[in-house]
Amino acid sequence: MIRFDRVSKVFQGKPVVDDLSLHIAEGEFTVLIGTSGSGKSTTLKMINRLIEHDAGKIYFAGEEIHKFKPQDLRRRMGYAIQSIGLFPHWTVEENIATVPQLLKWPRARIRERVTELMTLLHLEPERFRRRYPHQLSGGQQQRVGVARALAADPEVLLMDEPFGALDPVTRLTLQKEIARIHQLSGRTIVLVTHDIDEALGLANRIVLLEQGRVVQQGTPLALLTEPINDVVRDFFGRSD
Ligand code: ADP
Ligand code: MG
């Protein structure tokens, strides 16, 4: 579904993603993990062309991503981030409906889809539909952010530390929702986190980044039981 072939990105003369190659299969839940500054967000944003790569090739659905218009890519890939970025003067319903509106879905279909997603994410539709973001808790706002990313049924869901700012209980609840959505939909998901338990709990495959390079990628079990070096061993050792 997504492939990086020796991709690099330089910011101010410094390589932040360095000769990165990786494969993300359709339907797979991939977690990009690494310390702060290891290039996780940059890698994610190159997938939907929020950041353009400098060297190498990135493919989506078999085609180089340059062949897609950025807005087409972003319709086919939902994107949810820690700071959520809800439109403050729009209601929950309007926020979730952003992409379907752009695609000019009929009004009844949009309404139905919003209701469906709110139910899926345990936001009672009749209670929350007309609220504004400031009338919601952090966890509820985060759910709206995820619902918005899923609204037009994207082929890929990209998430950058989507639960980072939440208390542990809400975080766990939302992790469960995401795991359930993945099971139900079989959608390809790429999630960025620096939280080891989150990675181990959600991923089919983990990619450990360090200074813009892949240290090791594989199943959670493989990284835990067959770390290729001390960097991997130390990284996962920290959760004990
Ligand atoms: P992570 O998400 O793993 O914390 P990032 O991908 O955000 O890491 O950043 C990787 C490195 O690139 C960091 O050193 C960061 O300071 C740098 N960086 C990210 N975005 C920019 C930018 N727009 N301009 C300059 N440097 C940047
Ligand atoms: Mg980041």
pLDDT confidence of residue 166: 80
Query: What's residue 239's pLDDT?
Result: 45
Dist CA 39 CA 207 (whole Å): 12
Separation of 189 CA from ligand 1 center, angstroms? 22
User: Could you write out the DSSP letters of every residue in 144-210?
Assistant: HHHHHHHTT--SEEEEESTTTTS-HHHHHHHHHHHHHHHHHH--EEEEEES-HHHHHHH-SEEEEEE
Q: What is the mean pLDDT of residues 23-40?
A: 96
Residue 23 CA to ligand 1 center (angstroms) comes to: 22
Ligand 1 pocket (Cβ < 6 Å) reads: 11-12, 16, 34, 36-42
Q: For a substitution probing ligand 1, which of 7, 11, 12, 41 has the most ligand atoms within 8 Å of its CB?
A: 11
- Model ipTM over 0.90: yes
| Average pLDDT, integer, range 26-42 | 96
pTM above 0.95, yes or no: no
Tell me the CA–centroid distance for residue 193 and ligand 2, in Å: 8
* Phi-psi group of 27: left, alpha or beta (phi > 0 → left; psi -120 to 50 → alpha; rest → beta): left
Q: What is the pLDDT of residue 240?
A: 45
Taking only the tens place, the pLDDT of each residue in 121-162 is 889 999 999 999 999 998 899 899 989 998 988 999 999 998
79-84 mean pLDDT: 80
- Give the pLDDT of residue 163: 85
Q: Are 183 and 156 in contact (CB under 8 A)?
A: no
Structure tokens at 72: 């087409």
